[in-house]
Structure 1
């Protein structure tokens, strides 16, 4: 199954591009699912209705019902603890989804689409970047938090549970808590597998111009940090080449400047012309010429290289591609066998390659869109001569 994740700055036409890419795949004979994270039925409006193409299925997320079921299930499992605290039970009819429920519903949709094995291509209309990047990073982050808060090794919890139960006077919910954590671990791992699958790519959509250029550069940095691959940068709503209107001509000149920068910086840029109106229905979507998901690019390598100084000492360099990163916005912190990398608003905890876990960080530099972190062997962990 091929997955195309569509994002870009707000108002750039992400939903239209996602619908057009899905329709192009369906017309090529693919079984296509298109998923929208928009609470309004913007996707249905753009497609012109549910029957845009017989090979195309559209899902609109409805997180309210699942959120309600999950919270009521937690309430039932922890009923004894809530009664001890004198808490009043919550009725299902009064529950409304909390912030974050849409993101979890989107991750479930990715997981369910992969498990269904009923589609050749899945196109996802993501929220605006950088919110979309936060959603895509969520499975990895939550799994790390779960392992720290509720490690699978439950020996300590088993030993303390009877003592805690006697102190509190009620059975402690340790067993079901770990069971719930295991279920969440399984669901998050399934969503993460789809996001990290070699057949999953991201399409960046933006209008060419100063604001679009800044948004694409920042998004490209975040995608690279999280190991996500971009199939193309789509320049949306490109104005006609020649216009007698000086105002439109000035806007097109501004677009041309950005387009030239993008075509120099990024591997593949596709232009989509402005139709002069908001696209609606299958004919308009086809007229845009948005391509179906392409063959995924090769994954970017994060190699570790080794050099030997004149004194015989070794230096290892970890090469982390970060296109568009700004030196002043970079941050590095070593935490045990992990490296916390910050690039502007994005942060990721990276597990160190095995060769670097017995080394100390000796410095770092940003060159040609690549973060190069230098390591030297730690003599306490890697004595000379081994």
Structure 2
């Protein structure tokens, strides 16, 4: 079963080169690796020193770049055009009656304005790679942090809208009806739902999918790291480690008072101070791994091989590397006290909120809406909680705790 490792971070932190180096380290260890770039800046080829063909209207294929190492730059627009042509071919089997809808009149480029379409197609493509037996590890160079967090929410968002707009029972009736075109459309939507559900399940599978957050040793990066950790916890994404890149290596003591030496030592001391603050802010929840500054930017397979040796060791700050947390990030429901209508239940979820003032809670039918640090998630309540009302909420360290009491109108008598 293919393991998925996501590399997340802001632009300019060396995320792509570290993803490449990690992929090469796995490949050198004998594992079959595919590195895929979702970043539309297409810097993966630049880092590897390989030029991938991007012919208009065609989906870029997978290229072998080194022993055990394949690579692909996922072109979302080309995917959109290719999949849209497939949909048109499917719908054309339903006859010429259009029911007032002429999909053939649409240009695939017009669909790029629909939120989340291209991102979902890229995720579906990744899920297909992960389901194949061709690779042991799928390393993903993700878009910048904010874009990636938005992409992670896309599957749940789409599935939620489809469930409300065209529920499964209504699609089933259409699929078995006499209107052939509507039946084909229902089958197409069901196919989309199945693919997107597979993506959602893959991202939520903590046994298969994890992410590394790449950052730099700068004060402004600490807050960004904390926000991404909070967002990852809220969205149910397993965050394995924070990888601090471009840390200046230690140098022997020098007698010279040259300004360049003073600048170097001062800058390194500032970096180490930032890393120490990062350790304190993360409360030991995540290992903080160090990648030293390599000097010239590592471009090409030879330079990346040298960086891969550093990634192989990945020394943490301290004596012993922290263990990666792989427990499920799903909310846990527990009975707290009482019986019958006097029962109290809790829903507890891991949520290391950076700014408690951003915490927002809401209830919509059988779901609870949780927002924090600029990210929002819709959480489906367990059956017992659907018959309850929210009685209170509190932050308990790095966890959010919601309390529920039975609703007399809905509770079984």
TM-score, normalising length: structure 1 = 0.85
Provide the residue aligned with 1:317 in structure 2.
Answer: 346
Structure 1 unaligned blocks of 5 or more = 163-170
Do residues 180 (structure 1) and 188 (structure 2) align? yes
Tell me the CA shift for residue 277 of structure 1.
Answer: 1.7
Contact 2:13–2:245 (CA under 8 A) maintained in structure 1: yes
Task: Determine helix, strand or coil for the equivalent of 1:240.
Answer: coil
Match of 2:298 in 1: 279
Tell me whether 1:214 sits opposite 2:227 in the alignment: no
> Larger deviation: 242-251 or 216-225?
242-251
Residue 71 in structure 1 maps to residue 87 in structure 2:
no
Match of 2:12 in 1: 11
Deviation sequence 1:92-119 (CA, Å, 0-9, x none): 8xx4772545413421321221232111
Separation in 2 of the partners of 1:256 and 1:233? 15
1:192-211 alpha-carbon deviations (Å, 9 max, x no partner): 23222221101100002222
Number of the residue aligned with 2:44: 43
What secondary structure is seen at the aligned counterpart in 2 of 1:154?
A: helix
Of 94, 98, 101, which aligns to 2:112? Answer: 98
Give secondary structure in 1 for the equivalent of 2:345: strand
Task: Mark the CA change 1:305 to 1:239 in structure 2 (over 3 Å): closer, same or farther.
Answer: same
Whether the 8 Å CA contact 1:8–1:215 is kept in 2: the answer is: no
| 1:76-155 aligned within 5 A | 77=91, 89=105, 95=109, 98-99=112-113, 100=116, 102-154=118-170
**Can you list the C-alpha shifts for 1:131-165, whole angstroms capped at 9, x where unaligned?**
11221221222112112111121289759x99xxx
* Aligned counterpart for 1:332 among listed residues 361, 385, 388: 361
Distance 2:132 2:197 in 1: 16
Q: Could you say what the CA RMSD is over the residues aligned between the two structures, in angstroms? A: 3.2
Report what 2:25 is aligned to.
24
How far did residue 324 of structure 1 move? Answer: 3.7
Q: 1:381/1:37 Cα in 2 relative to 1: closer, same or farther (>3 Å)?
A: same
Contact 1:68–1:96 (8 Å) recurs in 2: no
Is the CA contact (8 Å cut-off) linking 1:325 and 1:369 kept in structure 2?
Answer: no
Runs of 4+ in 1 over 6 A off after TM superposition: 85-88, 292-296
SS of the residue corresponding to residue 332 of structure 1 reads strand
- State which of 366, 379, 382 in structure 2 corresponds to 1:353: 382
Q: CA deviation at 1:12?
A: 1.2
Q: Which sits farther off after the overlay, 288-297 or 42-51? A: 288-297
| Partner residue in 1 for 2:202 | 194
1:62 aligns with 2:78: no
Change (3 A) 1:382 1:67: same
CA distance in 2, matches of 1:194, 1:259: 32
Gap runs ≥5 in structure 2: 51-62, 255-259, 315-322
CA contact (8 A) 1:150 1:181 kept: no
Question: SS at 1:114's partner residue?
Answer: helix
Give the TM-score normalised by the residue count of structure 2.
Answer: 0.80
DSSP-derived class of the 2:18 partner? helix
SS at match of 1:112: helix
Looking at structure 2, the residues matched to 31 and 155 of structure 1 have their Cα atoms a distance apart, in angstroms, of 40
Contact 2:336 2:344 in 1 (8 A): yes
Q: Deviations over 1:260-318 (max 9, x none)?
A: 122232321100001122111334323331249997723246333333379x9332221
Check the 8 A contact 2:172/2:186 in 1, yes or no: no
Q: Which moved more, 1:238-247 or 1:48-57?
A: 238-247
Q: Is the 8 A contact 1:200 1:296 kept in 2?
A: no
Residues 6 and 204 in structure 1, CA contact (< 8 A), matched pair in contact too: yes
> What displacement does 1:125 show?
0.4
- Alpha-carbon distance in structure 2 between the residues aligned to 1:174 and 1:336: 29
Task: Give me the whole-angstrom Cα distance separating, in 1, the residues matched to 2:126 and 2:313.
Answer: 19
Q: By how many angstroms is 1:344 displaced?
A: 2.2
